[in-house]
Amino acid sequence: MLSQTLALLILAAFLHAFYHALYKKSLDKGAFAWWFILVASVIYLPVLASTSLRFPREGWLCIFASGVAEAAYYIATSEAYERGDLSVIYPLARGIAPLFITLWAILFLEERPTNVGLAGIFLIVLGIYLLNIRSCAHLLDPLRSLKGSSSRFALLASLCISVYSVLDKVGVRYVPPLIYIYLVLVVALALFTPYILLTGRGAEIMVEWRANRASILVAGILILFAYLLVLTAMRMAYVSYVASVREVSIVFSALLGYFLLKERYGPIRVFASILIFLGVFLIGRAA
């Protein structure tokens, strides 16, 4: 993988981790997500004034389909967090996504990761899974929980991540990345809003704004910019590699949790972080 591509992904991962640390502190995850998508849609609205919206039909199809998958991801994540613990939900939602993405990329995009690249993806997935395990005694908790609704929503979120990642790889062939991700967020907002209203979160929306408006504004600025970096990287490398490397954000998130939220960073997290960085190194050598 080219050094500039890797640098884009590492920066995107840090920005993603930073606004997810803010997300993690929110009172209502669904309301917070709705707000930062809305803020991004308003702040970046001027980008539409500088471009024509005459894109090929394939580009519009990718924008709409990716927006649907993004909205479904936010809904599934909100439902999962309402029902289960972060230590169970997060390894399933984020850890399995690179496996789905690699499968779709091989089947539909004709990507052919090398053996070294596949080994790097495996190490990253394993590291992600371990990173949020409380202790060795809880090693199988996420897998044991698969019968529960929270884990099923986490798996749905993982599937949504894989779908919109592959769609985005195709979409940026037809639409400039900044315009593309902006329009995807607008579609996601249009579909996510009815869910927020139908689940009776009207009061929570205003409470969330009053409690966390500064964090919402920061997250709204970062979400689009961070994903713009990812889309730019997708133009240079396999989506299976890009999607896996961007998950280094989970290590940054754990570190930010340790320094900002005073969360524990025990031996398992250290080992998991080493696995993830080793996986990134292998992908960097393979691509």
pLDDT reported for residue 85: 66
pLDDT reported for residue 5: 86
d(CA 252, CA 9): 12
pLDDT reported for residue 86: 61
Predicted model pTM: 0.87
Q: What is the pLDDT of residues 162-209, one digit of tens each?
A: 999 999 999 999 999 999 999 999 999 999 999 998 988 888 899 999
Contact status, residue 93 vs residue 154, Cβ threshold 8 Å: yes
pLDDT reported for residue 261: 61
Please report the DSSP string for 73-116 in residue order: HHHHHHHHHHHS-HHHHHHHHHHSHHHHHHHHHHHHS-----HH
pLDDT reported for residue 4: 83
d(CA 18, CA 224): 13
Long-range (24+ apart) CB contacts under 8 A made by 206-215 are: 207/27, 207/28, 207/31, 208/26, 208/27, 208/28, 208/31, 208/32, 208/35, 209/35, 211/27, 212/22, 212/25, 212/26, 212/27, 212/32, 215/22, 215/25, 215/26, 215/32
Two tokens at 41? 């849609």
- Work out the widest C-alpha separation in the chain, in whole angstroms: 56
Low-confidence ranges of the chain (pLDDT < 50): none
pLDDT reported for residue 150: 78
pLDDT reported for residue 260: 67
